[in-house]
Amino acid sequence: MTATTAPAALLAPARPPLGRLVAVELRKMVDTRSGRWLLVLIAVAGVALMPVVLFTVDEPDQSVVELFVASQTGAAILLPVLGILSVTAEWSQRTALSTFALVPERNRVLTAKLAAGTVLAAVFLVLGIAVAVLTRALGGALGRSGGSWSLPASLVGTMLLFTVLMVMMGAAFGMLFMNSPVAIVLYFVLPSLWSTLGEMIQRLKGPAGWLDTNRTLDVLTQEGVSGGEWARIGASLAVWLLLPLAAGAVRLARREVK
């Protein structure tokens, strides 16, 4: 009589580590034609604004700080669009089926997308510092720049935070609307509309001081942020980032993949 052996237990596949998911999301952002063009435009904008500063700003004001802030303009405007596309492309390009089949925990995919956007923001921040220093050196050689060479670490940190928050807002709008054109248009139009109404309507001027991201987040691009300004930043982000992010995460979790 021969003994029967129990069948070997099947092991569940291990979850891919978050670092690998972030690398995959970074590759997705770079591999698409729209993503590549956006990254090129961000880099070009950062460099193209340097001559503008050199030839329009007074010589004593042409500091590394001034040049650095100018170099981040393209990233602050266009990286959020890439954040939107990183979410909406899953549905428009029908990659959601494979993405969520391989990683069923959709919140991990969302976390990886936000982390990938943060990595890109950090990359363009470092490039911006290099461009600012080189432009200051060139301006000094041409007799055009006479400003300070110093770049406070606090400003670098708040500038990175500013860009990361913009990217997250873009991703939040992308999750909320799940449509690239709609999300991009509303991302730019709604805050601008609220800002305009806050200027035109007397009763809205008080709330606008707390909820207008054009005002509250602008202090992150300057040296020194007070406690009251941090409070206004938190209030505006609760409306324009946390609320759409939470609603978008719920919609992302519930949407059927076809």
Q: Which residues neighbour 119 within 8 Å (Cβ) at sequence distance 6 or greater?
A: 22, 26
Q: 143's torsion region: left (phi>0), alpha (psi -120 to 50) or beta?
A: left
pLDDT at 4: 58
Domain ranges of the chain: 18-254
pLDDT at 167: 94
Rounded-to-integer distance, Cα 43 and Cα 127, Å: 8
Rounded-to-integer distance, Cα 82 and Cα 80, Å: 5
Rounded-to-integer distance, Cα 258 and Cα 133, Å: 50
**Which of the residues in the chain have pLDDT under 50?**
1
Rounded-to-integer distance, Cα 95 and Cα 258, Å: 10
pLDDT at 28: 87
Q: In the block, which residue shows the tokens 């001559």?
A: 51
Exposure b/e, 3-25, CB count within 10 A at least 16 = b: eeeeeeeeeeeeeeeeeebbbbb
Q: 84's torsion region: left (phi>0), alpha (psi -120 to 50) or beta?
A: alpha
Structure tokens at 31: 């591999």
Three-class DSSP category at 3: coil
pLDDT at 142: 82
